[in-house]
Amino acid sequence: MSGIIGYGAYIPIYRIKSGDIAKVWGEDAERITGGLGIIEKAVGGVDEDTASIAVEAARNAILRAGIKPTELGAIYVGSESHPYAVKPTATIVAEAIGATPNLTAADLEFACKAGTAGLQMVLAMSEMKMIKYGMAIGADTAQGRPGDALEYSAASGGAAFIAGPTDESIAVMNDTFSFTTDTPDFWRRQGADYPSHGGRFTGKPAYFRHVIGATQGLLEKTGTKISDYDYVVFHQPNGKFPIEAGKKLGVPLEKLKAGLLTPVIGNTYSGASPLGLCAILDEAKAGQKILMTSFGSGAGSDSFSFTVTDRIESGRNRAMKTRDFIDRKKYIDYATYIKYRRKIKV
């Protein structure tokens, strides 16, 4: 089997509190914060987009892996906020980290699970020896229509993973399983500035059906139980859904805590469950097992089983840890937030 040989996170420094957004729209700040389980969210600066976030995460992954960028045979960037409709983010990342020209690269789109789709691809390519190393990135500068419920959660951040041979892995992939249907819970047409969503419809028939379906499918495929895993991370559209999914699957809250980041950085979309995995890898010990299940509207989930190896300590401190990015923050007001979200378009 193949596995993860390096990982890297990146979260912008700026934060806006959910309560400050609520005040602008005359909403009850405590009701909004409590209802979504989100205290504040990360906001990309005026000079930050999905490409720059992906580059920073990729550089951190390279540092931890201890390989040369030119050894990468593939780079896939998953996002629903690529800076260009026609021009790949992946080539920008490849050039910026010095990985060009001998590699394949592409952008992926499947709402919030585009990053984990890329991870499946590079793990499989490494396993088949099509490439030795491959990088998958999930990154977003998510946006919600002003005043919409999404505005309180849509955040910025990303994570990168490098797949490679088992004997070099810090976490070996035991197996993966996907659960996919055509469920139109969330969408954005070409040219539209903001996404639309089905409100309460996004819960039971979309998020919970797919996250639970993929997780149960993985458990059945691998012959494992929740009790076999030390850490569990689910996609996090808000602070409450992953906890509720955990209850339905019998996951103790203690196993979710390390990877539950949305309450303090918001929903980073394609970066959400990958960033949770990064936070877990920052503290996991050799021999421990990790279960990760993503979710992307439209709709589908990818579930993974990993076992941490004794190589985990070798590269862990070569790059900034996920919680360090979370603690490194500057608060901004709503006017500054709007300014930062209005990117200069080229």
Contact of 298 with 185, CB cutoff 8 Å: yes
Which two structure tokens, joined as six digits, stand for 333?
């007001």
Q: Given the residues 40, 48, 56, 80, select the one marked as catalytic.
A: 80
Q: Decide if 80 is catalytic.
A: yes
What's the 3-state SS for the chain? CEEEEEEEEECCCEEEEHHHHHHHCCCCHHHHHHHHCCCEEEECCCCCCHHHHHHHHHHHHHHHHCCCHHHEEEEEEECCCCCCCCCCHHHHHHHHHCCCCCCEEEEECECECHHHHHHHHHHHHHHCCCCCEEEEEEEEECCCCCCCHHHHCECEEEEEEEEEEHHHCCEEEEEEEEEECCCCCEECCCCCCCCEECHHHHHHHHHHHHHHHHHHHHHHHHCCCHHHCCEEEECCCCCCHHHHHHHHHCCCHHHHHHHCCHHHHCECHHHHHHHHHHHHHCCCCCCCEEEEECCECCCEEEEEEEEECCCHHHHHCCCCCHHHHHHCCEECCHHHHHHHHCCCCC
The one catalytic residue among 82, 197, 210, 235: 235
Count Cα atoms within 13 angstroms, Cβ side, for 341: 24
Q: Is 112 a catalytic residue?
A: yes
Catalytic option among 112, 151, 197, 278: 112
Active site residues: 80, 112, 235
